[in-house]
Structure 1
Amino acid sequence: MSHDDLRREVRDWLAAHWTGLGSVGQSMWETNDAMRAWYTKVFEARWSVTGWPEIWFGRGFSDEETRIVIEEFARVGAPGAGQDRFNLPANTLLAFGNDALRITLIPGLLKREITTCLLYSEPGAGSDLAGVRTRVERQGDTFVVNGQKVWTSGAASADYGMLIARTDWDVPKHSGLSFFFLPMKQPGVEVRPLRQITDEAHFNEVFITNAVMPVDNLVGGLNQGWRVLQTALAYERSVMGANARGARRGSADVVALARAAGRLNDPQVRQDIARVVALRRLNALNNARAKADLEQGTSSSIMSLGKLAMSRILHEEARVRTAIIGAESLLAGDAHPVADDVNFLALNAYFTSIGGGTDQIQKNIIGERVLGLPKEPELDRNIPFKQVRSG
């Protein structure tokens, strides 16, 4: 099939099936009947992951063919395609999961019938994820989990948690970790919401007490979790580097905001807006480069550039928006929707500064793995984890 024929096929299919979703009112961690129905149609037509092999619900397309599909879906505003580039749990499973787990979970993940959260950070292991102390032990045909996680977005509604936990305490910290898909809706998994500065509660702390899961829910092999985690983090940073959560009310973009405020002819405002637009464009090009380098089952340090850049873009754009509306930014609430949205975006920018690894961690990764600078000293890197001191 030629590229023109493929583009025509995608357009014809969308014309026959895409009617829009209306106001679905979903958060980024939840789904609903309308969204699930559409994603199921996309999955059944094999548009979800066109770059994957046919045996795993794809079409075996090249990168260029996949790009055509994504472009045509984007042209009409239809979601669901290109998940072979951004669906974090599905891509992690395809790369490292066993066949039983792939068959059980991947279709539901691609159809948005199954939701996930990331059980990574702990009270004593956030920036250094290799220091996690949540424990997993095998008992017969199951694994038993005990520990605590924190800053877990979407945990209250998730069906599964992508869990990094310690399975061997007698080896150095990076070598004793394993990666699992933990069923969240079971006794022994307690989720407590954390109130955020935006007055939301998407973050949670999760307490795990004798929770169980089948041995098939191990991903990537026992004590091979660090390698799996790096791939999962690369997909997460790719998504965070390419997209950012918008205003709660869907407010106008920064150019429209300046025009409505009568500030678009202000040379300083125009210069600030141009800087933000240029940074967004440069970041999009960098992300395209990173995704081109990211092969299935690998990680790319370039993803840290995009993730860090998006963090700085959001903070800079929040500063520009605040300057545009001036003293109005002191107001908030439903009676002042423009100011409320500007303040929300300013506060929510810290979400991207922290999630997926803090800005400081991204700078370390870029310095060491992209620029080749000397690594920071790690005195506990090569000793058995049970000998590592903790506070």
Structure 2
Amino acid sequence: MAASGSPGSIRRICICAGPAATPSCWAVRPGTASATCSRSERVVIDEEVRREVREWLAANWSPGIDRAEWAHTVVDAGWAVPSWEPEWYGRGLTDTGSRIVAEEFAAVGAPGAGHDRANLFACTLHDCGTDEQKRRLIPPSIRGETKWCLLYSEPGAGSDLAGLRTRADRDGDDWVINGQKVWTSFATTADYGMLVARTDWDVPKHKGISFFMFPMRQPGVEIRPIHQITGESEFNEVFIENARVPADNMVGEPGAGWSVLQVALGYERRFMGDLARTSKNAKRPKPEKGGGLVQLARDFGRLGDAHVRQQIARVDALVAVNRWNRERSKTAVDRDESATLAALGKIAMSRILHETARVETEIIGAEAMLAGPDNPVGDAVTFRTLNAYFTSIGGGTDQIQRNIIGERILGLPKEPEPYRNTPFRDLPH
């Protein structure tokens, strides 16, 4: 085992398998070095990663640094998404190495690594985009300069997303888009939307869909906020009339958008497995990690109640199982294996949020009905109770996730599809 490195890049520890073998470095995706390392060698590798990132942070990070400048520095150094290949703004670290990077950044309060930057838009482009698209769109995305939204669901195509009717017609170097999307988060601030639209009406519904990186700030795009029960307007309707998207912004081939969409949905479900939201007035730590519920019960004199302790333990068990499944899912994605396990994390987070809201309400009692800045605890619980059930819908309903788990993980028979090979325009509507 030998160390090697180059200026501006992390030192690599290489393991040679025989005199004629090419050295494989720890800074490679899982399945290479990690597969050939002994446990003691992996410990040395992990320590080397931690030492290198600590040294880099000590030399570069300052709490007063300009955040835009810092984002550029982190991306240029490959720390923003360290599991990606060096040629695509990463360092080729394994999942364990990436977690170490995120831990060290968090320890000094430095933003810019892990989920701060590895958003589902950049990840989808990384996996499915052309080299030109990656060079053009990934850097501003992981630097936080470009904002994105999802243009998937339609009034008549939610659970059956493949039934979408937003159309894209080729016109020279552009595609002309007409249609309506709904439940779009962050549409009012987005620069781009990941858009699925129908480009071929004469093939079965899954085969006529294409995937676009759609510019949002243009004529023909009207955004109408949807008022929610929480008092927010996070979601929007988006009306698109004769808006244009350059042909170079299509991800994948025409008609291959369903495959790209599955990659994007896999990342969305994986990230939703980490989801936790609080009210704007909330002062409490997020209770999805059992300690928050314990502190809440202690503050309200309920920790001595055996029933309350049992309910808290139930939530904590769900969180632990979800954490393990998230790690399984991340490893599968990093190895370019099936992202189906993300469905487990997504449906688990739905249950965690539902159960957390229920237990919080039980702990604080009638105070859960009092919302507002003068009652931050009750306000936070009220918000989470009202908001908890959106995870049962967003990113694919719980019912869809159960179908995925049943068919793709458990191997159960698929539902009948009598119109599987019918051209979309001939389907009954």
Q: TM-score, normalised by structure 1?
A: 0.92
Instruction: Identify the residue that residue 178 of structure 1 maps to in structure 2.
Output: 210
Matches within 5 A, 1:1-391: 1=12, 2-20=45-63, 36-82=68-114, 86-248=118-280, 249-252=282-285, 253-295=292-334, 299-390=338-429
Question: Larger radius of gyration, structure 1 or 2?
Answer: 2
Instruction: Identify the residue that residue 25 of structure 1 maps to in structure 2.
Output: none
Contact 1:96 1:297 in 2 (8 A): no
Bigger shift: residues 149-158 or 3-12 = 3-12
Q: Number of matched residues? A: 379
Amino acid at match of 1:82: G
**CA deviation after TM superposition for structure 1 residue 298, in Å:** 6.0
Q: Distance in 2 between matches of 1:233 and 1:273?
A: 31
Q: Distance in 2 between matches of 1:80 and 1:299?
A: 27
Q: Distance in 1 between matches of 2:66 and 2:372?
A: 30
CA RMSD of aligned residues (A): 1.9
Bigger shift: residues 157-166 or 270-279 = 270-279
Contact 1:51 1:84 in 2 (8 A): no
Q: Distance in 2 between matches of 1:178 and 1:74?
A: 38
* Residues 168-224 of structure 1 deviation map (CA, whole Å, 9 limit, x = unaligned): 000000000100000000001111100111110010000000111111100011110
Q: Distance in 2 between matches of 1:225 and 1:297?
A: 19
Amino acid at match of 2:390: F
Amino acid at match of 2:153: S
**CA deviation after TM superposition for structure 1 residue 44, in Å:** 2.1
Instruction: Identify the residue that residue 28 of structure 2 maps to in structure 1.
Output: none
Q: Distance in 2 between matches of 1:357 and 1:269?
A: 32
* Higher RCO, Cα 8 Å, sep 6+: 1
Q: Distance in 2 between matches of 1:246 and 1:7?
A: 32
Structure 1 unaligned residues grouped into runs of 5+: 22-32
Structure 2 unaligned residues grouped into runs of 5+: 1-11, 13-44, 286-291
Q: Distance in 2 between matches of 1:368 and 1:180?
A: 28
Bigger shift: residues 295-304 or 42-51 = 295-304
Q: What SS does the corresponding residue of 2:304 show, helix, strand or coil?
A: coil
Q: What SS does the corresponding residue of 2:210 show, helix, strand or coil?
A: strand
Amino acid at match of 1:384: P
Identity within the alignment, %: 59
Q: What SS does the corresponding residue of 1:294 show, helix, strand or coil?
A: helix
Instruction: Identify if the C-alpha distance between structure 1 residues 124 and 284 changes in structure 2 by more than 3 Å, giving closer, same or farther.
Output: same
Q: Distance in 2 between matches of 1:194 and 1:296?
A: 39
Q: What SS does the corresponding residue of 2:180 show, helix, strand or coil?
A: strand
Contact 2:80 2:112 in 1 (8 A): yes
Q: TM-score, normalised by structure 2?
A: 0.84
Amino acid at match of 1:273: I
Contact 1:231 1:298 in 2 (8 A): no
Q: Distance in 1 between matches of 2:296 and 2:116?
A: 35
Q: Distance in 2 between matches of 1:185 and 1:297?
A: 34
**CA deviation after TM superposition for structure 1 residue 100, in Å:** 2.0
Q: What SS does the corresponding residue of 2:184 show, helix, strand or coil?
A: coil
